[in-house]
Amino acid sequence: MIAIDSTNFDALPCCGIKCRTHPGRQQKACWLEANAKFGLRAKTLLAPDGQPGGYIEYLPGEFAWRGVEATGYMFIHCIWIYSRRHQRQGWGRFMIEACLKDARSAGMRGVAVMVRDGPWLAGRRLFLANAFEPVDTAPPDYQLLVRKFHRTAANPAFRKGWEQKLARYGRGLTIIRSSQCPHIAKFASDIAQAAAEDYQISPTVVDLESWQDAQNAPTPYAVFSLIYNGRLLADHQISRTRFRNIMSKLPGR
């Protein structure tokens, strides 16, 4: 397991992105550096052949870039295995144990993570198999899981008021994005281009600049969403093609 920082970032793939000039990769480098002071930890797991095999990213919950209240817990942003050939070898458990160890060393209450029913970086089975338990839900299908070190510790929870937060973006097309995930840069750019070329819509782009911005975003995932006339079109990254399919089904489009 290798801790990623400014000294070795350029030498390692970033969430599967190897091209050093990729805009999302460059933004991720800046984001990692800016959030290091809040206790952010990003780690790459190397396979036996020396190639990156897995990735995990976590930080103290009070600074999480998700719509959660998880003060006192270590919060996992993402965890994934790079290739199918590396799955089912216990590597997910190994990365979770590293996070648990860091949380214990920091005197935290435990570790929390967000999962969902739909496509996600890691399914809930991985965490349930590692003694995590569900403690809260949020629409449409998000669950908050936690592994406590002390049974009496207060539970983390999702933030509330999603409809009120969504109502702030009542007119036009709004793209909410951040640099937490390096893949967001391309998805957001592609959607903005398609909106202008296909629908003559000039979207409003909202960049989340801080963990406070993310925790007050209109979706639990927080770091990317697509809103049209107050209606949530997507609460996670989608392709240009998926955007067109959604727009074609809207009344009046």
Distances (CA, A) of 252 to 5, 6, 68, 163, 199: 48, 49, 36, 23, 12
Residue 26, pLDDT > 70, answer yes
Q: Given 133, 158, 183, which residue is the final one in a domain?
A: 158
Q: pLDDT at position 8, please?
A: 85
CATH number for 203: 3.40.30.10
Q: pLDDT at position 20, please?
A: 75
Over range 139-147, report the average pLDDT: 95
- Report the DSSP pairing between strands 110-116 and 73-81: parallel
Give this prediction's pTM.
Answer: 0.93
149 and 198 belong to one structural domain: no
Residue 162, pLDDT > 90, answer yes
CB 91 within 8 A of CB 102: no
What is the C-alpha R_g of the chain? 18
107 and 227 belong to one structural domain: no
Q: Given 122, 137, 158, which residue is the final one in a domain?
A: 158
| Residues 86, 58: Cα–Cα separation, whole Å | 21
Range of the domain at 204: 162-248
| Residues 22, 19: Cα–Cα separation, whole Å | 5
- What number of other Cβ atoms are within 10 A of residue 151's Cβ? 6
154 and 166 belong to one structural domain: no
- What number of other Cβ atoms are within 10 A of residue 156's Cβ? 26
| Residues 170, 146: Cα–Cα separation, whole Å | 34
61 and 141 belong to one structural domain: yes
Residue type, 205: V
147 and 234 belong to one structural domain: no
Q: Which residue has the higher pLDDT, 1 or 68?
A: 68
- Write out the DSSP string of the chain: -EE--TTTGGGS-BTTB--TT-HHHHHHHHHHHHHGGGT-EEEEEEPTTSSEEEEEEEEEGGG-SSSEE-TTEEEEEEEEES-GGGTTSSHHHHHHHHHHHHHHHTT-SEEEEEEESSS-SS-HHHHHTTT-EEEEEETTTEEEEEEESSTTSPPPEE---HHHHHGGG-SSEEEEE-SSSTTHHHHHHHHHHHHHHHH----EEEE--SHHHHHTSSSSS-S-EEEETTEEEESS---HHHHHHHHHTSTT-
83 and 128 belong to one structural domain: yes
Q: Given 158, 179, 200, which residue is the final one in a domain?
A: 158
**Residue 159 phi, psi dihedral angles, 5° rounding:** -70, 160
Query: In whole numbers, what is the pLDDT of the chain averaged over residues?
Result: 91
Which of these, 198, 186, 157, 191, lies nearest to 174 by C-alpha position?
Answer: 191
Q: pLDDT at position 83, please?
A: 61
Domains held by the chain: number: 2
154 and 175 belong to one structural domain: no
> pLDDT tens for residues 28-80?
989 999 999 999 999 998 877 777 778 999 999 999 999 999 999 999 999 98
Q: Report yes or no on 253 lying in a domain.
A: no
CB 114 within 8 A of CB 220: yes
Over range 93-101, report the average pLDDT: 95
28 and 123 belong to one structural domain: yes
80 and 200 belong to one structural domain: no
Q: Which of 27-31, 35-39, 112-116, 204-208 bottoms out in mean pLDDT, i.e. has the lowest?
A: 27-31
